Chain A
Amino acid sequence: GAGVSQTPSNKVTEKGKYVELRCDPISGHTALYWYRQSLGQGPEFLIYFQGTGAADDSGLPNDRFFAVRPEGSVSTLKIQRTERGDSAVYLCASSLMDRGRYNEQFFGPGTRLTVL
């Protein structure tokens, strides 16, 4: 079956521009996560959705970052006024959300963002 997909796979932009990164989760997965992986580092949590609502956005670094999931499926991570330090691989993961049990997160291939 189809896994988590992310588009685009690569995005090059100029400092100060606005970008949108898209994540298509596995069908039926109600939980969706965004992570950011900078060069030489492990992935860092950004935001977590349960359905349409952001259940935890404590990892967003500042107010230039915003994410939505309007219909509880596809999610878009939006970055305003991009800075060179935003260059990283942005990973999306999805999972079921069966309460009281472990639910594996399945990761997409990531979007590599380069800010020149």
Chain B
Amino acid sequence: AQSVTQLGSHVSVSEGALVLLRCNYSSSVPPYLFWYVQYPNQGLQLLLKYTSAATLVKGINGFEAEFKKSETSFHLTKPSAHMSDAAEYFCAVSDRYGGSQGNLIFGKGTKLSVKP
């Protein structure tokens, strides 16, 4: 069965500092991997996705993530945090069904706070 573990339910960084949100996954088949962001009282927005091409994936708002099969990880990074990055971030994994996508399995989320 697939699963996702996000280390750290809360992460706090200073504005301008590096953001690192950790995600490890478990999957018996090559997965699709995703990071979503959720701002307060808003829906989920896709930040970036890994679908088997380049292992370093760039997303919106300056975020990127690297797929490391040997470590079963897909950590999210951003070189310099902005106040507007404060939100909750979810890592998710999906099976591939003949190349198509199945339902998403989400981690519990990491709430990012950015201090001025």
Contact = CB atoms under 8 A, between A and B. Distances in A.
A43 B99 contact: no
A49 to B, nearest CB: 11
Given A44-B106, A102-B32, A91 B101 contact: no
Contacts of A108: 43
Given A41-B108, A43-B90, A104-B49, A59 B101 contact: no
A45 interface: yes
A105 B101 contact: yes
Interface residues of A, number: 26
A100 B98 contact: yes
Contacts of B9: 40
A71 interface: no
B111 to A, nearest CB: 9
A91 B38 CA distance: 12
Of the candidates A42, A102, A103, the one having the most CB atoms from chain B within 10 angstroms of its own CB is A42
B43 A91 contact: yes
A59 B2 CA distance: 14
A95 B32 CA distance: 15
Of the candidates A45, A98, A105, A109, the one having the most CB atoms from chain B within 10 angstroms of its own CB is A105
A9 B104 CA distance: 23
Contacts of A99: 98-100
Given A102-B101, A103-B101, A42 B90 contact: yes
B101 A100 contact: no
A100 B100 contact: yes
Given A41-B109, A99-B98, 5 more contacts: A40-B108, A48-B103, A100-B99, A101-B100, A109-B43
Interface of A: 33, 35, 40-45, 48, 56, 59, 91, 95, 97-105, 107-110
Interface of B: 4, 9, 32, 42-46, 49, 51, 90, 92, 98-109
The 6 closest A-B pairs by CB, nearest first: A42-B106, A100-B99, A45-B103, A107-B44, A109-B43, A102-B51
